[in-house]
């Protein structure tokens, strides 16, 4: 009974920790939607850009998916420190299957949070152009979540300190988010910034979701899909490789 009780207790802690993380991480998207949406809305409209909330909401939805998916990697470090990862890795299951399962689990949580932020966006005035296209946007949200959950796992597989992981994540996440076109249009940027933006895979995720929710697209849905699928496949392979090399 002892080992079973301890395992159940750990599972319960993981469950409530994930729920608490979802609730607390909703604060930042709501702040961005309200503060930026209504704060910069009049300026954006005067500049001829239209309704800023319509432009901003898809980017903030993807922001919530990005942050939650990337920080899913901290579960690897947490489980390593408390021994749960060792129990998983010694099981008669291939490590790549464990990594894929963790990635899909983290992507599911991140996508769920994206849907919650989508509903919050509707509550403050955002309106998608089409409900069927909005459902398709959820598919892209899940694809983006897989990409960054795998990236978070790849980074966490090479780190043993949770504080170091948080620092690295902030260093990686903030440039990825701010240079994705989530908060501002990509037209008229300096050449150097334009090259960085086009090299950023999140740019195409934001563009795809914005295209499906608002009809505004900078690269085209097919281009967005192709790049996201290729990058997600490559990053998942890299994450699987690093996860398989974890020493216990």
The residue assigned the tokens 């021994």 is: 83
Alpha-carbon distance of 83 to 118, in angstroms, equals 37
pLDDT (tens digit per residue) in 176-194? 988 888 888 887 778 888 8
* Helix boundaries (H) for 71-199: 74-82, 84-89, 95-123, 131-156, 162-178, 191-199
| Total domains in the fold of the chain | 1
Cβ-contact 150, 40 below 8 angstroms: no
Chain-wide mean pLDDT for the chain?
81
Paired tokens of 47 = 């500049």
| 71-84 average pLDDT score | 72
Confidence of residue 16 (pLDDT cuts 50, 70, 90): very low
Q: In this predicted structure, what is the pLDDT of residue 34?
A: 80
Of the candidates 196, 72, 54, the residue with the CA atom closest to the CA atom of residue 144: 72
Q: How far apart are CA 200 and CA 60, in angstroms?
A: 17
Q: Which two structure tokens, joined as six digits, stand for 173?
A: 């996440």
Element (H, E) at 230: helix 221-244
Per-residue tokens: 9: 């207790």
Instruction: Give me the domain span that covers residue 41.
Output: 2-244
Average pLDDT estimate for 210-239? 92
Cα 114 to Cα 108: distance, rounded to the nearest angstrom: 10
Reply yes or no on whether the pLDDT at 8 is more than 50: no
Q: Which of 31-35, 41-45, 117-121, 197-201 is least confident? A: 41-45
Here the tokens at position 122 are 């509707």
Token pair recorded at residue 151: 């990236």
Count CB atoms within 10 A of the CB of residue 210: 25
Residue where the block lists tokens 């702040």: 31
Number of DSSP helices (H) and strands (E) in the chain, helices first: 13, 0
The whole-number pLDDT of residue 248 equals 63
pLDDT of residue 14: 54
* Number of Cβ atoms within 10 Å of the Cβ of 89: 17
Residue 135 pLDDT greater than 50, yes or no = yes
Q: What is the rounded distance in angstroms from the CA atom of residue 52 to the CA atom of residue 34?
A: 11
Q: Of all residues in the chain, what percent carry a pLDDT higher than 90?
A: 27
């Amino acid at each position: 009974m002892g080992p079973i009780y301890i395992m159940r207790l750990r599972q319960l802690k993981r469950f409530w920790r994930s729920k608490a993380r979802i609730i607390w991480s909703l604060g930042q998207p709501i702040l961005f939607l309200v503060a930026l949406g209504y704060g910069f809305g009049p300026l954006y409209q005067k500049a001829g850009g239209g309704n800023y909330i319509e432009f901003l909401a898809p980017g903030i939805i993807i922001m919530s998916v990005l942050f939650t998916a990337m920080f899913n990697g901290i579960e690897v470090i947490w489980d390593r420190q408390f021994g749960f990862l060792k129990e998983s890795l010694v099981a008669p299951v291939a490590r790549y299957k464990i990594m894929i399962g963790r990635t899909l689990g983290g992507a599911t949580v991140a996508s769920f949070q994206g849907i919650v932020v989508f509903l919050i966006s509707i509550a403050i005035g955002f309106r998608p152009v089409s409900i069927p296209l909005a459902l398709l946007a959820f598919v892209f949200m899940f694809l983006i979540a897989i990409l960054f959950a795998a990236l978070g796992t790849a980074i966490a597989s090479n780190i043993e300190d949770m504080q170091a992981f948080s620092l690295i994540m902030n260093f990686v996440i903030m440039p990825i988010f701010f240079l994705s076109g989530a908060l501002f249009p990509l037209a008229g940027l300096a050449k150097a910034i334009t090259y960085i933006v086009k090299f950023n895979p999140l740019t195409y995720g934001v563009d795809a979701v914005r295209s499906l929710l608002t009809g505004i697209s900078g690269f085209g849905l097919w281009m967005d899909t192709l790049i996201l699928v290729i990058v997600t496949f490559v990053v998942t392979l890299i994450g699987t490789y690093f996860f398989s090399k974890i020493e216990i």
